[in-house]
Structure 1
Amino acid sequence: MHHSGTWPDSTGSPRPKNATSSGSCDWQSPRCAGHSNPTASTSAPTSARSPAPAWSATSTCTSSRAGRAIPTSSPCSAKPKSSANTSKAPTTASPPPSAGRTAPCAAVVKAVVFDLDNTLVNFTKFKSVSVEAAIQAMIDAGLDMTPEQARQRIFQIYDTRGIEYQEVFDDFLRDVLGYVDYRILANGIIAYRRAREGVLVSYPHVNMALLKLARMGLRLAVVSDAPRLQAWMRLVQLGVDGFFDAVVTFDDTGRRKPAPEPFQKALELLGITAAECVMVGDWAERDIVGAREIGMHTVFARYGDAFGTKHSGADFEIDDVLELIPVIERLNRA
């Protein structure tokens, strides 16, 4: 596993793109505390909004989420990147819509929808470090195999059962021992959870960007292929759950991106149209393709790209989540 992407100046302008993507993988979430099948609402609580000063040709409003008052202020203005680097220089022309999708019509952007893993949280690093910690703890508890052998077996199970599979260490021990040694299992689970606490963090500037977007009066949502409980646990641990008006997970539609249902569910909960919404994600073949097909504006989070994607097919690309602010400003000026 590897994590690619760079961290340029956070005030740089985004780059429009108009090609297609490549790469495939399914990174979502590991075993975590609790195995219940929660039935909590897919929508986070939303408080009343009050009018705020206009910042562009269209009016916005302040918002208060989960009892957290969010004052109104002007959005940040991003500076264009240096023209010396022509490969990253912004262009003024919008890319033509891809075949078979509905082109977004002119409309004020009213909401932003985020993917979760590798867009808000560095899931690739979190997953790798946590599994390594669990493997070492199980070996220290008496498991007789090398770390590399254990790693291969564990990820074979993830490949078969899904990266969110909650019984991965149980199956692993049955596979290598013929039974579950609960002492070894307990050591692995505890080590995994301890490592997770230390490495499950948001990308730089995520909190700042969410705050700025909320101050602009935008409604915010998450669309994730993760199970409901795991998605909410990550949002809560990151301390950003209060920003979101809606959280749509695999449990809510039974479909994974790029199927239209998860995106449509988010639009329904937000009460907006596709042309009024921006989708931000790191996985071109799921986040970008699915959102473009139903007419949403698309932003590729290159900072979270784990596949070395050359052509995302997104309307814009960003190397830092704060670059999303001038994207919204540009769309609202168009």
Structure 2
Amino acid sequence: MYTTYIFGLNDTLYNATEQKSRARFAAVESMIENGLPVDIETAYTTLEEVVREVGEDAPNHFNLLLKRLGVRDDPRIIAAGVVAYRDVSRAALRPFPGVPSTLISLREKGKRLVALSAGDAVKEWQKLIQLGLQHFFHAVWVSDKNPITADTINSALSGLTVTPADSLFVSGVPSEVEAAGRAGLKTVLFSPRRVNPPKDTRGDKPVIRRFQEILQL
């Protein structure tokens, strides 16, 4: 039915929420082990606040964390956080079950696959490469404006000469699904955490629990 499948990246091809949470927890745990004089709950909660305020792509989260906690910059503490974050982040960066096999099946059927994301282009490509998925996609579109909006998607559709009527947008982020709908795309919400995923309030956007269910749409 569809000739083009457009996929979000974060919380769609892999569990970005869990990966970031685990990496940040490991980071503050290591920082405490290396001299940060606060309890882990305070450190983790404060780090989450910092990330929300300055954005995920800001380069100095741990420096800002120390400043927010009233602790002077300490290179050992900062380095401990950086090393732990990178180690756990890389270990937790794995595709959701069924992602590689589903992408292979779609390619074998002659479908065009597009990955769509927002943020720093190099970092988004790093994720795809670390996931081992970069070769599955015919095109990758990274917007420098985060979050993804209908305008973002319209720009991608125009730049990639994608016809909305022949395309399906898949994402695990509800706001991205809504944006794609406003851009005129058929959409599906990937929600692996729900046992019995419901349809949305209008009943015209399917919700799937297993990634490979895309092949049945």
Q: Provide the identity percentage.
A: 28
Residue 89 of structure 2 corresponds to 196
CA contact (8 A) 1:121 1:201 kept: yes
Q: In the alignment, is residue 315 of structure 1 matched against residue 208 of structure 2?
A: no
Aligned partners of 2:199, 2:40: CA distance in 1, in Å?
Answer: 33
Amino acid at match of 1:189: V
CA contact (8 A) 1:278 1:299 kept: yes
Residue in structure 2 matching 1:264, options 154, 157, 171: 154
Amino acid at match of 2:33: D
SS of equivalent to 1:152: helix
CA contact (8 A) 2:200 2:207 kept: no
CA contact (8 A) 2:151 2:183 kept: no
CA contact (8 A) 1:281 1:287 kept: yes
SS of equivalent to 1:249: strand
Amino acid at match of 1:148: E
Aligned partners of 2:193, 2:185: CA distance in 1, in Å?
Answer: 20
Residue 192 of structure 2 corresponds to 303
SS of equivalent to 2:192: helix
Residue 182 of structure 1 corresponds to 75
List gaps (5 residues or longer) in structure 2. none
**How many pairs align?**
214
Listed as ranges, the matches of 1:1-334 within 5 Å are 108-251=1-144, 254=145, 256-257=147-148, 259-284=149-174, 286-303=175-192, 311=200, 315-327=205-217
CA contact (8 A) 1:200 1:238 kept: yes
Aligned partners of 1:274, 1:288: CA distance in 2, in Å?
Answer: 14
TM-score (norm 2): 0.91
Aligned partners of 2:34, 2:198: CA distance in 1, in Å?
Answer: 40
| C-alpha RMSD of the superposition | 2.0
Amino acid at match of 1:212: S
1:310 deviates by 7.6
Aligned partners of 1:312, 1:278: CA distance in 2, in Å?
Answer: 19
C-alpha distance after superposition, 1:77-109 (max 9, x if no partner): xxxxxxxxxxxxxxxxxxxxxxxxxxxxxxx52
CA contact (8 A) 2:47 2:62 kept: yes
Larger Rg: 1
CA contact (8 A) 1:134 1:189 kept: yes
Amino acid at match of 2:17: T
Identify the structure with the greater helix proportion: 2
TM-score (norm 1): 0.60
List gaps (5 residues or longer) in structure 1. 1-107, 328-334
Identify the structure with the greater strand proportion: 2
